[in-house]
Chain A
Amino acid sequence: MKFCVCIKQVPDVSAPIQIRGGELVMDAGRAVLNAYDASAVEEALVLTAAHGGEVDVLLIGPEKAAETVRKALAMGAARGTHLVVADDAELDSGAVSALLARHLDGHAYDVIATGKQAQDTDAGLAGSMLAERLGLPYATNAVGLAAEDGTLVVTRQGDAGQEIIALPTPCLVTCSNDMNDPRIPNLKGIMAAKKKTIDTQPVADLPAASVRVLRYEPVPSREPGQKLDGEPTEQAAAVVRKLHDASVL
């Protein structure tokens, strides 16, 4: 099976981030491969190791994001394509999916995989938008993948349980990080990645975005809480009294 995994470089949300003048300021500048995309790469590598085939990765991002393409190559992806844009924050899910679709139009992949959402915007729209633009059958929020002859079997996490859906190839799937533990590239992988080429393509005309971030704001803070002292029996009695007073039980 030939896979193309669409990946994104995102800020490390556990690093210090502040808001200044409505903008996010990341002093450490730490960026990582989106965890959901890492799971998609991992799963594609496992399936191709078992059934044959190859994994390519495709990224839209600024020049700096080349390091994230390199990371996926170090994990074991065969080829990387980097569509270079000045600032991917200007692109909404619609524009991202339009750019990806432009690039993948007439593609020869059996499966196009993406993360179920990006860890920074948490939008979760680009995957199904891309499927619709390419006219592919798709499933979102995969927590398990299996390959059969000409079919991708997706276990997806639905609202009430897990749905097992068979997709004929070519198809698209969006992956959860609940699916696996992505491998950490070893030295051999890192060395091999250095020899792999990244097809770097500057993007001249960006698709128009219909969604725009006006500014970032802090999360409204909750009322400060209260720690309850005493022995467990006293703490328990105190909590029950509070819940009772609030008429919630």
Chain B
Amino acid sequence: MPTILSYVAVSGGKPTRASFEVLTRCRQIAEAQGWDLAAVVLAPDAETFAEAAGRYGAATVYAVSSPDFDHALNPPVLAALTTVIELAQPAVVAFPSSEGVKDVLGALAVRTGGAALADVAEFDVSDGAVEALRPVMAAKFMARTRAEAGDGSPVLVSVRSGSYTDEEAPVQPTVETVVFESDASTVRQTLREVVAAAGGAVDLSDARVVVAAGRGVKDDEGKRLVEELAEVTGAAIGASRAVVESGMFPATAQIGQTGKVVSPDVYFAVGVSGAIQHVAGMTNSRIIVAINSNPDAPIFDVATYGIVGDLYKVLPPLIEELKKANAA
């Protein structure tokens, strides 16, 4: 029976929500096709996450434990995934799309003789091939795309966060502990430093609420208002390219075609114009609230609720109202 293998990404010591969304989609496909469902975890202590993968239906969990995965270098990840793919012989491998995954997807496809589909919004299996819907042209259009790898090689897909809803379907997984010794001679690059973004209490791509700042946020006062709105809503802070470039917000906060794709329940776009490259990263949000002084700003075309007004005048009462609601 063919296998569909789902990659469970671990961040800050726990599996990401996007991983469970992808695992849920893989389970649906496995059920529809009569395939086996397996998951793979790479982490310093991968076995710890087997139970979580089982909770979402993974019958087999390939656990690869190595301190190497604590470092942001691609050779150990490529080597470990190649080993697991050789063992599991999956027809399809699905990943949650992240910078870490984007760093290895192409190389892994070449190494395993597979085909790759990046950043899909939807995917399914039909006639031995993977069919997916991919946003293209800065998410202005969708491309219905078909990928087929020959000779029993896998099709690799990475899935945009928020494309599917995570659903539990618990099973008791069989844990396959994969012995992995990374070969130091294949690691030519060295990691000198990781500069973690300051603040950012909540992980952006996993956040249920996002407050995104755009160029309308002009000064420290505006930044303080954005931070306060994020605090009262328990939100992660995002940003447009314009305010990342100006240095007001860290690069890790950038949302859009170049930056992250987010899919919160609520997205506050504060002083963001809604350029297509920004919108490309946030249209999966359930509710979009836009605050912009220009009534013709394109952000209002995608907003669920639009407030035409000066953010410096709108945010203070909004923060007050939210505090009141929290207290109630």
In the complex, how many angstroms separate the beta carbon of B119 from the nearest chain A beta carbon?
6
How many chain B residues touch A (CB < 8 A): the figure is 95
- Say whether, besides A122-B119, A233-B317, A249-B209, A153 and B137 are in contact (CB < 8 Å): no
- Say whether, besides A125-B116, A160-B252, A240-B321, A212 and B145 are in contact (CB < 8 Å): yes
Which residues from chain A contact B98 at a C-beta distance below 8 Å? 159
In the complex, how many angstroms separate the beta carbon of B35 from the nearest chain A beta carbon?
20
Which residues from chain A contact B99 at a C-beta distance below 8 Å? 141, 156-159
Interface centre among A133, A214, A236 (most CB of B within 10 A): A236
In the complex, how many angstroms separate the beta carbon of B15 from the nearest chain A beta carbon?
14
How extensive is the interface on chain A, given as a class? 35 or more
Q: Give a binary string over A211-249; 1 marks a CB under 8 Å from any B CB, 0 the rest.
A: 111111111101101111000110111111011101011
Q: Is the CB of A123 within 8 A of B118?
A: yes
Pick from B138, B145, B286, B305: contact of A242, CB below 8 A. B305
Q: Is the CB of A14 within 8 A of B11?
A: no
Q: Is the CB of B141 within 8 A of A217?
A: yes
- Say whether, besides A122-B257, A165-B190, A210-B147, A216 and B142 are in contact (CB < 8 Å): yes
Residue B133, interface by CB 8 Å: yes
Residue A164, interface by CB 8 Å: yes
Pick from A93, A94, A160: contact of B196, CB below 8 A. A160
Residue A11, interface by CB 8 Å: yes
Interface of A is mostly: mixed
Q: Give a binary string over A186-217; 1 marks a CB under 8 Å from any B CB, 0 the rest.
A: 00000000000000000000000011111111
Pick from A92, A125, A139, A232: contact of B189, CB below 8 A. A139
Pick from A120, A171, A214: contact of B136, CB below 8 A. A120
- Say whether, besides A178-B258, A236-B318, A248 and B72 are in contact (CB < 8 Å): no
Which residues from chain A contact B283 at a C-beta distance below 8 Å? 219, 222
Q: Is the CB of A94 within 8 A of B209?
A: no
Residue A119, interface by CB 8 Å: yes
Which residues from chain A contact B111 at a C-beta distance below 8 Å? 132
Q: Is the CB of A217 within 8 A of B190?
A: no
Residue B74, interface by CB 8 Å: yes
Q: Is the CB of B136 within 8 A of A121?
A: yes
In the complex, how many angstroms separate the beta carbon of A16 from the nearest chain B beta carbon?
11
Which residues from chain A contact B74 at a C-beta distance below 8 Å? 128, 138-139
Residue B3, interface by CB 8 Å: no
Q: Is the CB of A225 within 8 A of B110?
A: no
In whole angstroms, what is the CA distance A109 to B181 when docked? Answer: 32
In whole angstroms, what is the CA distance A245 to B196 when docked? Answer: 37
Q: Interface stretch among B24-32, B60-68, B84-92, B307-315?
A: B307-315
Residue B178, interface by CB 8 Å: no
In whole angstroms, what is the CA distance A226 to B308 when docked? Answer: 11
Q: Is the CB of A214 within 8 A of B300?
A: no
In whole angstroms, what is the CA distance A179 to B284 when docked? Answer: 27
Which residues from chain B contact A242 at a C-beta distance below 8 Å? 287, 305
Residue B193, interface by CB 8 Å: yes
In the complex, how many angstroms separate the beta carbon of A164 from the nearest chain B beta carbon?
4
In the complex, the chain B residue whose C-beta lies closest to that of A125 is B106
Interface residues of B in 284-314 (CB under 8 A from A): 286-289, 295, 300-309, 313-314
Which residues from chain A contact B201 at a C-beta distance below 8 Å? none
Interface centre among A137, A246, A249 (most CB of B within 10 A): A249
Residue A184, interface by CB 8 Å: no
In whole angstroms, what is the CA distance A238 to B321 when docked? Answer: 9
Which residues from chain A contact B193 at a C-beta distance below 8 Å? 163-164
Residue B213, interface by CB 8 Å: no
Q: Is the CB of B192 within 8 A of A94?
A: no
In the complex, how many angstroms separate the beta carbon of A239 from the nearest chain B beta carbon?
6
Residue B202, interface by CB 8 Å: no
Q: Is the CB of B287 within 8 A of A243?
A: yes
Q: Is the CB of A217 within 8 A of B133?
A: yes
- Say whether, besides A157-B251, A227-B308, A165 and B100 are in contact (CB < 8 Å): no
Q: Is the CB of B138 within 8 A of A122?
A: yes
Residue B80, interface by CB 8 Å: no
Q: Which 3 A-B pairs have the closest CB atoms?
A: A125-B106, A128-B106, A210-B115
Q: Which residues of A does B touch, CB under 8 Å?
A: 11, 13-14, 17, 19, 24, 36, 92-94, 97, 116, 119-129, 131-133, 137-141, 143, 153, 156-168, 171, 176-178, 210-220, 222-223, 225-228, 232-233, 235-240, 242-244, 246, 248-249
